[in-house]
Each structure stands twice: as C-alpha cells, then as structure tokens.
Chain A
Amino acid sequence: MPPSIPRGVADYFGGPALRRRQLETLLRDLARTWGYGEIIPPIFEYAATFLTELGAQSVETLYRFFDRDGQTLALRPDLTVPAARIVGSKLYDQPLPQRYFYAGPVFRYDEPRAGRQREFWQAGVELMGAGSPDADGEVLALAALALQRVGLDAFRFSLGHLGYFHGLLAELGLDDAAATALQQALDRKSADDVRGLTDAWGLTGRPRDAVLGLLDLFGPQGDGVLARARSLALNNVMREAVDWLVEVEGRLDLYGVKALFDIDLADVRAMNYYTGVTFKAYAPGIGFSVVNGGRYDNLVGEFGPGMPAVGCAFYLDRILLAQTRRQGPPPDPVPDLLILPCPCGDHVRLAQEARDAGLVAAIALGPEDLARYPRRVRCQCDSSLLLETPSGSHTLPVTGWLERLF
C-alpha cells in the first residue's frame, strides 16, 4: 500500500489532535450552558438534500457517490442543511424554539487553502423557530463570547443584513445577470466596478446614490453607518433591515460584546440560504473568516413546515491555526506519571489510584525514554515508593502517596 493519503485530508496526532478535541469540547460545553443540545447528523446523505434551490453548495463542490440502489449520495458539505432537514422533517412539531449544537468534519471538493482542507471541521449552533432580533443577538453574542473563551484576542466581527441589498435590487428592477454583476463588484469592494455598472445602467438620483453609497456602509458601530444607511434607503425593505440591525445592536450591548462588531452592509456574499442578518469573524494572522453565520428563514421549509432560523459555524481548523500563530504549536501530551513495574505487583494499584484521582498515569512496558516523563514512580515493594522528579528523588509511604505528590 502507498503510505500517502489523498489530497485534501490530514492525519492528526499528539498535541494538535488534543488541541482540536479540546476546542470542540470547549465550544460544546459553552453551547450546552446556553441550552444548545447536540445534534449528530450522518456523514453522508442523499445528494439531493444538499442540492435544493437554497442548498449550500454547487454540485461541483460535493463529494458524490452511488449506493447499491443507484441513489446519489454525498458527503455533507456543511452541517446547517442537515440540521434544517432534521428539524424540518422530524422535530417540527416539538416545542419551539429549538437550540442545537453540532461538531464534526465536513467535505468540499475544492482547492485546499489557508487551514482548510477538503475535509475540514466545523462546530456550530442553530437556533430554530425564533425570528426575532433577540434570537439573532443570542447567536451573535454566543459566537463572540466563544471566540473570547477560545483565547483569540483582537478578533472582529462584521455584521450585515441581506435585506438591505435585496431591497435595493427590488427597487432597481435589475435582471439576474445585472444583479450578479453588482453583487460581485460589491463583494470585491471595487468602487470602480460599482460606478461602472451604475453608469452602464444609466442610474441617476437616489437609486444611484444608494448603489454608490453601499461600499461606504462599513465601519465600527457608533460611526454613523446605520444612520447613513437609513438616509440612503429607497424603500421599506431597506429601512426594515436597518431597524433590525439597530435592534440587534441593542442585544449585543446587553452582552457587552457590541464593540466587537463592525457593520458592513456591502458584504453580500453569503450562502444562498441566508435571508437576514449575516456575520463573519476575522482573527489576526488568518486571512479568512473563522466564523460564518446568519439568518436563514426559508431553509427549514425545504424539508417540512417552514420556520425562522439563525445560526453560525466555527471553522475549527482556522481557529486552531490562529491559536497556533499566537501560542505556538501545541505540546504533545505527556503522562503526569510513569509507573515502573515492580516484582510485588503493587505498581498496578499505584497506577489505578493515580488514574482514579484524575492523573494521567502510564505503566512502563519496556525500555522507555524516562526523560519524557516529568515524574516517575518506583515501587520499593516495602510499603514505600521512590518518586523521581526533575528536582530530585523522594521516598514516600505507599499509603497516602497521592496526597503528598503535589
């Protein structure tokens, strides 16, 4: 067999494997304290689940294959769609709202870049059946507090609302191709291209101002961004988007995280399924967003009775990369104690006592590199043991040895 693995996947071991699990555990535990229970979707599903009109992915980025019945299956490209499917098809009549957390690998057949392989890990929360600014505020605050808890500092969120752009498009009456051209120009923040389009379309007056002004609707809160957005708004859809963001800001303020958010109403690239607020988080040292999220009020309805929903996904690989840039590579885990075997056999009991006390204890099985272990325990077979530490050796009675250890 070749020793290699396919492009786009990776093996994890030692410190990086430990840190990955710890990050996942931290996020799971935090979400649990906010009332988010875990949802564990399958690794693969019918490809059609991911290819609905609102689906997450274009068909080229799906890992697709056939089962024996000839059904087309696909590895999950994200976990929001499976969560929406589960709620829409199974849990729709359970009390609302429902809060779910998930974590696991997802798969996309595209070019590996910046800490994202073709198999990469996501964790996330989905809040189903709540369509209020309170719900948006909850998910946004949870995301911000999670990044704080993870220990990324100086990260920033950008917060937008797709309703503003959709309202603008409706007012302009652009066809699909023109709307896409505007979306792409805005996504590149290319003022020249946006101006070129308004000229080509012969826009004048307030519609022209609204399009040209979009790229300036970016900045920290309190910078007057939302006031400018309201003065540029052409219709109620746009004004309602601004009002909604003001409401959400208020909720973020209650959580004390408002200062972490910048408004960006020109951030119009988002998954097809988003309908309202959208947000992304960026951390120093990583050129790509580490959290993506938003409101998707139409997705659950693809699979059952419709309901509003909001959620976000953490890109664990990128967060780990940001942590490594800050803190250095994670050290490989080393057992707290190495127990050396002895003729009387008490070494097994010593090891078990240490393990029961929550220590990581390994029994030496042969030639070991003793220097790897910070503490070594040699049973003397006379009701005492020798504890070897970097600062010297001590003889301890076997009875109550653990209490004296630290």
Chain B
Amino acid sequence: MLTIALPKGRMADDALTWLARAGWSPPAAEDARKLVIPSEDGSLAYLMVKPMDVPVFVEQGAADMGIAGLDAVRERAADVYEPMLLPFGHCRLSVAAPADRPDRPLRLEISPRVATKYPRLAEAYFRGRGISAEFIYLNGSVELGPLVDMADLIVDIIQTGSTLRANNLVELREIMSSQGVFIVNRASYRLHAARIQSLLRALRAVLP
C-alpha cells in the first residue's frame, strides 16, 4: 500500500479533486479527526498533515508521495523528487511592511525585525542581500507583528493581498512564487516505480 501525505486545509480539497479526476481511489469516508485514512479500494493511505510538514513526511519516507506547496518544500529544504507542478495553490512568498513605511531600499535597513513563518527562506533572502535582520519566528498571524510594533517587516504568503490590505501592509518584494507540487520520496520512487509512474501518468493526463 502506498501512502500519500496531503496538506490539511484549503489545498486538500483541490488536491483531492484532481486526484479523483485522475481516477485515484478517494479516501473512504471516515471520522474526520482521523489522520490516516485508507482509500476506498484499500490501495492507498491518505495521511492528513500540516501543510508545512508534508515535505518532511515524504522526505523521511513516512509517506511515499505528497502534495505540498513549493514554499513548504523549499522552507523545509526537503530532499524529495518534484515530478509535477499542480494547477492550484498559487501564491507568492513576499516581504511586506506597514503601508506608511518610508519608500527606501531594503538594503538600507540596519537590523530590521522580521516576523515570519518561514525562517529558512526569510533568513536566506536577507542574508543574501547583506542585511543582518533579526527574525521573529511565529506560527501564524504574522501580519500582527508590525501592528503591535513587534516587527518592522514580515515575510509571508500572499494570495490575493486582501489580508495585507486589511492590516494596512504593503508588499515590498517577492521572494518566490509558489504553487502546488507533487512530491515523491527518493527511495519510494525506485522501490514502487511502476505503481508511482502509473499514478503520475494518470494525474498528468488530466492536468490542463
């Protein structure tokens, strides 16, 4: 039985829709609190995990495959195969600041406080520009950082920008653009090659 890790939340619905279109056996209806759900035909197990943890489950081999955001794959620096981009979960990881921030280049910041859920990518971005930022690692509500004067900047995911606007923030720089990506464990790719290839082919056939 192959195991696929899916990100709990909005992306899971998209993921399941596309997998169903590709003819994958859907998760059997069960207790919604269960974290491991067998597929209806018993050939697969669905693992429902936090979006940021999908790449970790796949890298470690706890799941053979997964559907994750590219942002999560890069943030966790997961050593996995990424055979297919998926047509959902589009967003970008960006630096944002209060709307009233004076208009000047980021590189003139001396030691900005940066609130983020993405410590690795945020640090790489600022370090790559020679800015010694101070990072404040948060697990959510990152936009709050500047509002309560805990942070000068944030690094966060932006989809439509409405959350930013609601909190009087503006996007300054895009760090990366992200979308859903199908990932496969490096060992599973070989050990279950035929099965995974045929699942991938079925999925590729229905993608736009």
Contact = CB atoms under 8 A, between A and B. Distances in A.
A156 B84 contact: no
B191 A154 contact: yes
A189 B82 contact: yes
A188 B186 contact: no
Given A283-B187, A289-B187, A219 B82 contact: no
Nearest to A218: B193
A189 B190 contact: no
A69 interface: no
B59 A282 contact: no
Given A188-B82, A191-B83, A192-B84, A156 B191 contact: yes
Interface string B167-184: 000000000000000001
A158 interface: yes
Contacts of B58: 287
A138 interface: no
In which size bucket is the chain A interface?
A: 20 to 34
Interface in A282-301: 282-289
B83 A262 contact: no
B185 A287 contact: yes
B38 to A, nearest CB: 19
**Size bracket of the B interface:** 20 to 34
A34 B81 CA distance: 36
B60 interface: yes
Contact of A190 (B59, B83, B188, B197): B83
Contact of B191 (A190, A193, A282): A282
A114 interface: yes
Contacts of A188: 80-82
Interface string A143-164: 0000000000011101000000
A264 to B, nearest CB: 8
B61 interface: yes
A330 interface: no
A33 to B, nearest CB: 28
Given A189-B82, A190-B83, A156 B190 contact: yes
A46 B190 CA distance: 38
Given A156-B190, A262-B190, A262-B193, A285 B82 contact: no
18 contacts: A113-B60, A114-B60, A154-B191, A156-B190, A188-B80, A190-B83, A191-B83, A192-B84, A193-B82, A215-B83, A219-B197, A282-B190, A282-B191, A283-B187, A284-B187, A287-B61, A287-B62, A288-B187
